[in-house]
Amino acid sequence: MKEKNMDKTYTEQQQIGYFEVDNNLYLTPSALVFHLQDTAIRHSASLGYTLDYMAEHHRGWAVVNWHIIIDHMPKCGETIKIITWSSKCRRMQAERSYLLYDQAGTIAAHIASRWIFMDLEQRKPTEIGAEMEQKYGNSEITAIKNEKYKLPKLQKQNMTQRTFIVTRRDTDNNGHTNNVKYIEWAIDDIPDDIYNTMTVCDIRVVYRKECYKGDAVTSKSEVHTLENGDKEVISFFEWNDILLAEVVTQWKKNTAL
């Protein structure tokens, strides 16, 4: 995919800090998504839709899907480049694509995401509007072709389970749990034998319901072995038997170890 074929792109360069990496000094999945989320916020601000503007108008974007295909994770100290653009923006929904480049200029990850425009007072989707749609654009060019955001089905075999309480640090300015936290929780559930010997190569997330400080969330996960030897871990999160989110991570053998 050539950058010149993309419409209305926004580009940032950011340096990976020590607090963003794992025990092998590679960028963690949750830190990557923090970078993606912040880049989207600054892109919107560059179009006039700052956080203050959105708060004043009681509007906000809620991400409902991530799909991140990772070739390799950049390391601590590297300066990364993130290019993002609107691949679709109409009615109440938008799709945002990203390309992540490492310091050498090689594409490290392709990312697709889907967002809903929200009326924060009514807590329901609302129309984007013609002016906003025009500013974001509809390039129809995507970082991941024919993305349908489908997840594998649960087999509900050999599942592990834990329950924990949502804390203040898990929430954002809207009062509900920040979307990145579900990815952190899912990574916490990865078995040590996978986490210590393999590297994540694919992340898929769907968000369904909100949860808040003080809620008791139950995390359930199961591990599958794929035909190519990769491991797939399906994690889902519930509150009072209400499904909040699903996170699917795929892990390949870490040849660097």
Q: pLDDT of 131-170, one tens digit each?
A: 999 999 988 899 999 999 999 887 777 899 999 999 999 9
Contact 94, 129 (CB under 8 A): no
Q: Average pLDDT for residues 116-124, to the nearest whole number?
A: 93
Q: Per-residue DSSP letters for 124-137? A: EE----HHHHHHH-
d(CA 93, CA 114): 7
> What per-residue confidence (pLDDT) applies to 7?
59
Q: What is each CA distance from 20 to 16, 38, 187, 192, 234, in whole angstroms?
A: 7, 14, 14, 20, 23
What torsion, rounded to 10 degrees, do the Cα atoms 149, 155, 161, 166 define?
Answer: 20
pLDDT digits (tens, 9 = 90+) for 17-44: 999 999 999 999 999 999 999 999 999 9
3-class DSSP assignment, residue 205:
strand
pLDDT digits (tens, 9 = 90+) for 202-245: 999 999 999 999 999 999 999 999 999 999 999 999 999 999 99
CB-count exposure of residue 87 (10 Å: 0-12, 13-18, 19+): buried
Query: What are the start-end ranges of the H helices in the chain?
Result: 29-46, 51-56, 130-136, 179-188, 192-195
Q: pLDDT grade, residue 248 (50/70/90)? A: very high
- Provide the 10 A C-beta neighbour count for residue 53: 13
Closest C-alpha among 154, 159, 152 to residue 191: 159
Contact 246, 234 (CB under 8 A): yes
Tell me the CB-side half-sphere exposure of residue 79, using CA atoms within 13 A. Answer: 5
Sign of CA dihedral 147, 153, 158, 162: positive
Q: Is the pLDDT of residue 4 over 50?
A: no
Sign of CA dihedral 251, 20, 188, 156: negative
User: Radius of gyration (Cα) for the chain, nearest Å?
Assistant: 18
pTM of the model: 0.93
d(CA 254, CA 257): 6
d(CA 108, CA 29): 13
